[in-house]
């Protein structure tokens, strides 16, 4: 099907120019009428082929800043190419600066913003590009950019909060692993001759540490190679579709963390569905984009199943209800929205609720994990102490 370049006046009286893929001009005119836009002109558009491709990934904060700046400049009535050139001059990261320059050059050559952004999928994902495309067609680009900026800001805030909460237990566990290796290889060897001279049966903690010492010294190379091969095998397995799925399913079952992972995915699902539905993307296309955007393979598969059920005529609420990984609150709110014709409002409310829940869970995560880490730390210290002092007490009693 050919592309048609059109000029039309939207419901707010603004002139909109964009490109639409359609069978013929009549289809374009009908689509514009559905969008409550008055057509001015519709012509065949011969799009120039793009040669610029980039696999570079740009930090999310640069994309968020780009979105906010573009929204502000467009709202002020500045032409799109001028907006991009202004943003390019202010960009700090060289790679992103070049990317914006390439986007501006393509638009000057007659391309749409969405098509120019689509050249850089690692920086501007399907959610971003499709939202911009709908904004171009409907003439609501400013509203679309505002929605995208709000979504990216909340999503980035949650990710940073989760990383911050997990930093403390990660450092403690790494420290304990290092302490175990140091204690086993440097401290225990100094006591081994003394323990062997006593002739007494050594307690279990001491035997365990001595066993690890002999393992490290006598079979250290074999142990390291075996551990490396096991790690490589697991990494290779987790890169396969089945491995990624099983790993993500296991993450959902971890105490405390599993509940957080579940809430994170539900909140992300509801926010994405709200963002795309409010920007005018069709519900089936929205589910496709959500499936590509979610990182958890279990939820990816569930969203695919939901989309298939909706495509054959089921309601969204009924399709989601058949999944074991979504909460009743989400189903009830979507059901109310579908029945009352206020799906946007219900999705907005439920997405805000879940993001608040995730924020509260993340804030309490450290306080929930700290007691567990403290118990593990105390157990390890007790284990080390017993491994040294129990045989010494036995020797003293024998003497």
d(CA 349, CA 12): 27
Compute CA distances 292 → 182, 220, 300, 399, whole Å. Answer: 45, 44, 7, 71
Q: Which of 377, 360, 373 is nearest to 162 (CA)?
A: 360
Q: Which of 47, 84, 79, 54 is nearest to 69 (CA)?
A: 84
d(CA 323, CA 266): 12
pLDDT of residue 50: 46
pLDDT of residue 218: 83
Q: Which fold does the domain 60-124 belong to in CATH?
A: Receptor-associated Protein (1.20.81)
Query: Which DSSP string do the residues of 76-101 spell out, in sequence order?
Result: TT--HHHHHHHHHHH--SHHHHHHHH
Q: Which of 31, 109, 151, 87 is nearest to 16 (CA)?
A: 31
Q: What CATH architecture is 152-399?
A: Up-down Bundle (1.20)
pLDDT of residue 246: 93
pLDDT of residue 1: 47
Task: Give the list of residues 6+ apart from residue 74 with CB closer than 8 angstroms, or none.
Answer: 80, 83, 141, 142, 145
10-residue averages of pLDDT along the chain (399 residues): 71 72 72 78 62 60 90 89 90 86 87 87 82 77 85 81 78 84 83 75 84 84 89 91 91 84 86 78 83 86 92 91 89 90 85 82 76 85 85 71
Judged by DSSP in three states, 20 sits in: strand
pLDDT of residue 232: 93
Residue 86 structure tokens: 């202004």
């Amino acid at each position: 099907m050919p592309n048609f370049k059109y000029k039309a006046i939207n419901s707010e009286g603004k002139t909109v120019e964009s490109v639409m893929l359609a069978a013929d001009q009549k289809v374009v005119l009908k689509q514009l009428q559905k969008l409550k836009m008055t057509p001015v002109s519709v012509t065949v558009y011969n799009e120039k082929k793009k040669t610029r491709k980039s696999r570079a990934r740009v930090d999310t904060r640069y994309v968020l800043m780009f979105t906010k700046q573009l929204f502000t400049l467009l709202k002020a009535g500045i032409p799109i190419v001028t907006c991009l050139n202004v943003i390019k001059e202010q960009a700090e990261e060289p790679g992103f600066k070049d990317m914006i320059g390439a986007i501006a050059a393509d638009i000057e050559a007659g391309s749409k913003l969405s098509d120019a952004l689509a050249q850089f999928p690692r920086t501007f994902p399907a959610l971003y590009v499709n939202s911009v495309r709908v904004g171009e067609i409907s003439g609501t680009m400013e509203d679309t950019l505002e929605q995208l900026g709000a979504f990216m800001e909340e999503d980035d805030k949650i990710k940073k909060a989760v990383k911050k909460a997990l930093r403390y237990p990660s450092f403690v566990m790494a420290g304990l692993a290092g302490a175990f290796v140091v204690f086993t290889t440097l401290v225990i060897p100094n006591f081994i001759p003394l323990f062997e001279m006593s002739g007494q049966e050594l307690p279990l903690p001491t035997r365990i540490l001595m066993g690890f010492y002999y393992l490290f010294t006598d079979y250290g190379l074999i142990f390291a190679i075996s551990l490396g091969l096991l790690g490589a095998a697991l990494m290779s397995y987790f890169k396969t579709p089945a491995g990624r799925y099983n790993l993500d399913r296991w993450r959902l079952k971890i105490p405390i963390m599993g509940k957080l992972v579940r809430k994170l995915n539900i909140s992300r699902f509801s926010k994405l569905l709200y963002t795309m539905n409010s920007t005018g993307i069709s519900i089936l296309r929205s589910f496709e984009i959500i499936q590509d955007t979610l990182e958890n393979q279990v939820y990816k598969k569930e969203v695919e199943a939901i989309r298939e059920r909706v495509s054959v005529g089921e309601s969204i609420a009924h399709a989601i209800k058949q999944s074991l990984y979504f909460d009743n609150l989400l189903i009830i709110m979507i059901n109310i929205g579908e029945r009352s014709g206020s799906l946007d409002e219900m999705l907005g409310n439920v997405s805000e609720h879940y993001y608040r829940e995730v924020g509260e869970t993340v804030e309490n995560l450290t306080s929930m994990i700290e007691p567990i880490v403290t118990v593990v730390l105390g157990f390890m210290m007790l284990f080390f102490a017993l491994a040294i002092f129990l045989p010494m007490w036995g020797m003293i009693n024998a003497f």
